[in-house]
Amino acid sequence: MKLTVRTGIAAAVAVGALAVAVAPASAAVGGGDARAAAGAHAVVPNPKSIKPAAYNQARSILANAGSQTAAKSHPIHGKDDVPVGYGTSLLAASRDEFRHTDRKLPAKQKKSGMSIPHYNAIHSAAKVMGIDRW
């Protein structure tokens, strides 16, 4: 009986010691103040609004690259700022359209599911508007 109690207590102490040893290591993995590794690009939050001139320029870039969605959208005028949602919606719709158009291309001719020129147009338009995530 004494042997069983001692074994149970030893097992409980071992589990407790293991939990203490593992907890700090796992907390360090998902730490809140994570730093970017060398060469990694920092994610900057999207702006709250964008200028109509930037939206119109991005729209032109995408329309010239072949986006029917961008070509059909109306230029913004008469406003000081527009919600960033206008830009993110335009980018997402054009991205989906380009991916659909380029779906039959060989993988070596694509980047992120679309042709390289379409990929470059999307990212150029996003940069013009200052949008990082869409």
* Same domain? 55 vs 121: yes
Does any domain span residue 69? yes
* Same domain? 27 vs 55: no
pLDDT 10s digits, 17-42: 544 444 444 444 444 444 444 555 56
Q: What is the pLDDT of residue 58?
A: 97
What is the separation of C-alpha 22 from the centre of its chain, rounded to a whole number of angstroms? 31
Confidence band of 8 (pLDDT split at 50, 70, 90): low
* Same domain? 71 vs 103: yes
User: Cα(32)–Cα(78) distance, rounded to whole angstroms?
Assistant: 43
Does any domain span residue 43? no
Burial, 113: exposed, middle or buried (Cβ in 10 Å; 0-12, 13-18, 19+)? middle
* Same domain? 15 vs 53: no
User: Cα(46)–Cα(60) distance, rounded to whole angstroms?
Assistant: 21
* Same domain? 72 vs 118: yes
* Same domain? 20 vs 83: no
The first and second tokens of residue 54, run together, are 């930037």
Q: What is the pLDDT of residue 134?
A: 83
Q: How many domains does the chain have?
A: 2
Q: Which segments within 6-133 are labelled E, that is strand?
A: 49-50, 82-83, 110-111, 114-115
* Same domain? 27 vs 53: no
Does any domain span residue 38? no
Which domain, by its residues, includes 5? 1-31
pLDDT 10s digits, 48-104: 999 999 999 999 999 999 999 999 999 999 999 999 999 999 999 999 999 999 999
Rg (alpha carbons) of the chain, rounded to whole number: 26
Are 60 and 80 contacting, i.e. CB atoms less than 8 angstroms apart? no
pTM confidence score? 0.67
**DSSP strand pairing (82-83 vs 49-50):** antiparallel
